[in-house]
Amino acid sequence: MNFKDLSTLQIALGVSVIAHAVLLAVRFVDPESFNKVFSDTPLEVILVNTKTNEKPDPSARLRAQTSLAGGGDLDKGRATSPLPPSSFTTVGDSFEDAQRKVDAMQTEQLQMLTQLKRELAAMPAPDPRNPGDPTEATAQEEKRRQMINLLAEIERRVNEENARPKKRFLSPFTREAAFASYVDSLRRRVEAQGTANFPTLAGKKLYGELTMTITVNFDGRLLSTVVDESSGTPVLDRRAQAIVASVGNFGKFTDAMRKEHADQIVIRPHFRFAHDGSVELSSQ
């Protein structure tokens, strides 16, 4: 049958059937659910700086713009942060972090002191000729009294802090320019002294690990050694302290160190008395 022989009704019915078939083939979904698919599965991008001719593992969980078998710093899995893996980060900067926090607290105290003095100066002095509202005047005077007491307390703490020796808490491998050379020399001298006088008991060498806090004065004198984490062998702990003390004077602080307001330095190295007869100080 020729298309020209079809009536208008037949053509209309045919178009209607085709339209319904198309509509039935289309799947309608909830727009919110559709958007949720994208919000729950964000696009992940991994940057690489090399490529290989080797084909990647078929079980790879990610796609890339170029072939790269393996890659990255991890033996398994993949990094979820742009920072280096924690096992490769520098350990032992906690003392320096503590020092930064102390410095920040002291700065905050001074700022608070300045702010209180400014607020007290801005408060209107009581005028006996015009007392005004007695309740408001009493409240104002109470606020002034509280601020004066707080100001006195902060000043007392600041003065006490200024009277104490300024301690710098440092890592055994500090990178601070003013202290790095001095601390490195201290660490190497202790290691050399310990290796040359490796601790023994009844003719047998003592092996183990311990952590010690060492405090040195600005004139190079050793002020204290405190074993924080024992080796489990009290004799070895005492010998480790004796090794540090036997180094003698560590040398006067440099001008750069004193300019950093350092009267004392405090380091907390980890001692390792190894089976090869060496003593190693680390940040761990």
Is the Cβ–Cβ distance between 229 and 284 less than 8 Å? Answer: no
Find, among 270, 273, 276, the residue nearest to 206 by Cα: 273
Distance (Å, rounded) from C-alpha 18 to C-alpha 10?
13
Q: Which two tokens stand for residue 199?
A: 């601790």
* Whether the predicted pLDDT of 205 surpasses 80: yes
End-to-end CA distance of the chain: 92
| Gyration radius of the chain's alpha carbons | 37
Q: Report d(CA 5, CA 245) in Å as an integer.
A: 115
Average pLDDT over the chain, rounded to an integer: 76
Spatial neighbors of 13 by CB under 8 A, at least 6 apart, are none
* pLDDT computed for residue 21 by the predictor: 61
Q: Given pLDDT bands bounded at 50, 70 and 90, which one contains residue 78?
A: very low
| Model confidence band, residue 136 (pLDDT cutoffs 50, 70, 90) | confident
Spacing of C-alpha 69 from chain mean position:
33
The CA distance from 128 to 187, in Å, is 68
Judge whether residue 202 has pLDDT over 90. Answer: yes
Closest C-alpha to 240, from 197, 277, 282, 275: 197
Q: Per CATH, the architecture of 167-282 is what?
A: 2-Layer Sandwich (3.30)
Say what percent of the chain tops pLDDT 90. 40
Predicted confidence at residue 82, as pLDDT, reads: 43
Query: 225 pLDDT band (50/70/90 cuts)?
Result: very high
Higher pLDDT, 260 or 129: 260
Residue 57, pLDDT > 90, answer: no
C-alpha span between 209 and 231 (Å, rounded): 5
The pLDDT of residue 73 is 44
Does position 62 have pLDDT exceeding 70, yes or no? no
Pair of tokens at residue 254: 């440099």
Backbone angles phi, psi at 258, to 5 degrees: -70, -30
Name 227's bridge partners: 212
Rounded Cα distance, 176 and 260, in Å = 11
Residue 85 pLDDT greater than 60, yes or no: no
- With 0.75 as the threshold, say if the pTM is over it: no
Specify the higher pLDDT residue, 15 or 279: 279
Q: Report d(CA 135, CA 141) in Å as an integer.
A: 10
